[in-house]
Amino acid sequence: MEKTPIEFSKSLNISETTIPGLLLVDLPVHGDSRGWFKENWQRSKKLELGLPDFGPVQNNISFNAEKGVTRGIHAEPWDKYISIGAGKIFGAWVDLRKGDSFGKVFTTELDASKAIYVPRGVGNAFQALEPNTVYTYLVNDHWSAEAQEQYTFVNLADETLNIKWPISLSKAELSEKDKNLPMLKDVKPMAPKRVLVTGANGQLGRALHAEFPDAEFTTRDELDIAADGLEEARPWRQYDAIINAAAYTAVDLAETPEGREMAWKINATAVANLSRIATRYNLTLVHYSTDYVFNGERTVHQEDEVFSPLSVYGQSKAAGDIVAATPPKHYIIRTGWVIGDGNNFVKTMKNLADRGFQPQVVNDQIGRLTFTDTLTTGTKHLIESKAPYGTYNLTNDGESASWSQIAAQVFELSGHKATDVEGVTTETYFSSKEGIAPRPLQSTLDLAKIKATGFTPRDWESALSEYLQQQS
């Protein structure tokens, strides 16, 4: 007897649901008298239509022998791509993530022609509507005891969810464990993935606390990012981003044998380690660069200028920039003349002014100050706005000035005479000193690219005035 051909064929399409990030997928299925065929998972096509590049590492299959088998509601700390190999299900998804959408519900039927992408923390349940239903799913992490501790569950029968199960739960096949899961009012929402901040003790690391209060901050003593075995030091799939605020910044000491080794270890080797992890686990890597990767011959430096470092420090930072650009998801934030909580140029000048000194300060190195609050808010803006990945210059805005002009402003704002500051050339200033690394003379960074993302840094002069008021 001739069989009637099966034809589910339709266009590949991805649509949003009522739960943020939960995406419904229409799959073309081609059938004939033999059965049917479909491309169940095709990365490039789905990325083009907006599915996240979630990096599946495991494929699981649930076989459900009888109609009415019901499983869930379970939320695991990883993303899933669910599809049907045979039969049909009624699916129910509940947002169990911390946030405004907690408790939202979406239901639909899935057969071979539909799939669904379930983001981390969204609870998943299904009911088999046909015997011998095959339910398959890709996940982007492996089971572990630590991951299991983050599982979140809610009871299938919770009336506040208002799920209209096609087959009454009293007649469905459920496990005893699923029957005894907590009600929504008793569920602790799943926290978002972690953000790791390295270099927690530095002035930038300390400033990042204000913008990323829930991040995990770590020092070199707690996590040596330059050491072997870094990949085993954390459950990296439970992280979303790494903000690398660790750096070796002793510009002159970097010219010594010991300092050279430390500069390359922290500014290059450690960054290479983080870049490999970010690439493998699909994390966003945020790395901070410096104007010292350039020789300072251009009046204004743009992001795509070719590296031309003058010093060992600059060379090690340029190497770090190169490897930091290898993860698909990266922000390299190039900055300079950083002022924050700790010893810095502004505090030194204020202290000299208050003590009645009349310092010599170089007048041929030109740039802008960068206050750490500007650097940290700019970092948060890039991440949260989902700005295109790449390199961004970020300093405070305003007219460029020399170090001696800035020092004069510090003296004046501190109630002293600006004329107490004597401007001298870099050559004159360092003429009697040994072991001094060469400095770029022009350090002004073009801010057009980051401004185009919607972030405009405030003027460095007003930021300086406010900073000094806070120091009084």
Q: Is 223 helix (H, G, I), strand (E, B) or coil?
A: coil
- Specify the 3-state DSSP secondary structure of 262: helix
| Known catalytic membership, residue 209 | no
d(CA 244, CA 240): 13
Please tell me which residue in 137, 281, 313, 331 is annotated as part of the active site.
137
Judge whether 335 and 444 are in contact, CB under 8 Å. no
Q: Is 6 helix (H, G, I), strand (E, B) or coil?
A: coil
Q: What's CA 196's distance to the chain center, in Å?
A: 9
DSSP 258-318: HHHHHHHIIIIIHHHHHHHHHHHTT-EEEEEEEGGGS-S-SSEE-TTPPP---SHHHHHHH
Instruction: Provide the 10 A C-beta neighbour count for residue 268.
Output: 22
Percent helix / strand / coil, the chain, rounded to 5: 30, 25, 45
CA atoms of 310 and 294, how far apart (whole Å): 7
Q: Per residue in 158-170, is it b (16+ CB within 10 Å) or e — as a string?
A: beebebebebebe
CA atoms within 13 A on the CB side of 259: 17
Respond yes or no: is residue 137 known to be catalytic.
yes
Look up residue 451 and give its DSSP letter.
H
Count of residues for the chain?
A: 472
Closest CA to 340 of 456, 148, 203: 203
Closest to 288 (Cα-Cα) out of 226, 331, 339, 337: 331
Catalytic residue ranges? 74, 137
